[in-house]
């Protein structure tokens, strides 16, 4: 899955994109958050995508959250 997401400083200011495209991961995640199915995303927005590309976007977001440090500030 990791080979499906790439970061290139020359494409979208280094934001993660689906490999070989200029499709940012965030765009796919936003469509999913709006309730679109994989099929709808491919049919209506990105016909060159594969189901595995969309799954890779989800896995990328999960992996980012796994390593994110959360610092909770105590109320004053």
Say which residue, 2 or 59, is predicted with more confidence.
59
Any domain includes 73: no
Structurally, the chain folds into a number of domains equal to 1
Any domain includes 76: no
Any domain includes 72: no
- The predicted model gives 12-17 an average pLDDT of 94
Give residue 56's pLDDT band: very low, low, confident or very high (50, 70, 90). Answer: very high
Any domain includes 49: yes
pTM, entire model:
0.84
Spell out a b/e string for 42-76, using b for 16 or more CB atoms within 10 Å of the CB, else e. beeebeebeeebbebbeebbeeeeeeeeeeeeeee
Of 8, 7, 49, residue with least CA distance to 32: 49
pLDDT tens digits for range 22-48: 999 999 999 999 999 999 999 999 999
């Amino acid at each position: 899955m990791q080979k499906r997401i790439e970061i290139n400083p020359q494409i979208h200011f280094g934001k993660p994109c689906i490999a070989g495209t200029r499709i940012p991961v965030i765009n796919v995640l936003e469509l999913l958050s709006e309730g679109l199915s994989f099929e709808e995303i491919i049919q209506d927005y990105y016909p060159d995508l594969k189901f595995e590309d969309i799954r890779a976007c989800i896995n990328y977001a999960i992996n980012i959250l796994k390593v994110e440090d959360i610092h909770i500030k105590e109320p004053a």
